Amino acid sequence: MRIILIGPPGAGKGTQCQRLAGLLGVPHLSTGEMLRAAVREGTPAGVQAARYMSQGQLVPDPLIVGMVSARLQEPDCRGGCLLDGFPRTLPQAATLDDLLERRAISVDGVIELAVPRDELVRRMLARGRADDDPDIFARRIMSFEEQTAPLLDYYARQGKLASVDGLGNADEIFARVTRAIERFARRARQPEQ
Ligand code: AMP
């Protein structure tokens, strides 16, 4: 299955994706992790991305699209994947649809992890990552609201969106996420309904 997780920074996408990847036996593709690795290794893409990431801004679409399309062609993605942090803009979503369509496959379902802003700030303060400076974090939330939230409507129109309450402990949230995945799986088996 090809599943996308969408949620604001600090919603718990990474934690849920790691657990889901184990359950579904598909790779977890986190563009944030890919970019942080590129930054650590000092690759040309990493050097370019670091300027945007340190400011809480999205990196330019061409940079991220090149990275994801190469990763999606690797053999371990043949049976599906979990996308965490991509797509994050409408052009990225359209590009992903094109990439998959060329291979006669598609996104099976999109899960929104919904978490209120004050809870995100509380979690950010507890986590302390380099781009978790309060001003930068506020910018990342803003970029989510302005650039990524429109994707929820994009996928809802395609009938692919499941919104999951992201409040509670990781086990409770995981139970909600797996129920959404089961619904996607049932729909994939009965595409006419
Ligand atoms: P994340 O770990 O997913 O929150 O990503 C960390 C940072 O990487 C983001 O704040 C962006 O600067 C950058 N990033 C990750 N994924 C994308 C994407 N799909 N498009 C643009 N920038 C991204």
In this structure, the residues whose C-beta lies within 6 A of any atom of ligand 1 are 9, 31-32, 35, 52-53, 56-59, 64, 85-86, 88, 92, 140
Superfamily of chain region 2-30+80-189:
P-loop containing nucleotide triphosphate hydrolases (3.40.50.300)
pLDDT digits (tens, 9 = 90+) for 88-108: 999 999 999 999 999 999 999
Q: What pLDDT sits at residue 128?
A: 75
Helices (H), 25-88: 31-41, 44-53, 61-72
Query: Does position 61 have pLDDT exceeding 70, yes or no?
Result: yes
pLDDT band (50, 70, 90) for residue 190: confident
Q: Please give the pLDDT value at position 191.
A: 61
Average pLDDT over residues 32-60: 96
Residue 187 CA, ligand 1 centroid: distance in Å: 30
Nearest Cα to Cα of residue 117 among 142, 136, 135:
142
Q: Where are the domains of the chain?
A: 2-30+80-189
98-122: average pLDDT? 95
Look at ligand 1, atom 2, and give the residue with the nearest C-alpha: 32
* pTM for this predicted structure: 0.94
- At 192, is the pLDDT very low, low, confident or very high (cuts 50, 70, 90)? low
The radius of gyration of the chain from alpha carbons, rounded to an integer in Å, stands at 16
Minimal CA–CA distance to 57: which of 7, 131, 151? 131
Residue nearest to atom 8 of ligand 1 (CA): 32
- Taking the centre of ligand 1 as the mean of its atom positions, its distance from the CA of residue 96, in whole angstroms, is 16
Does residue 81 contact residue 108 with C-beta atoms inside 8 Å? Answer: no
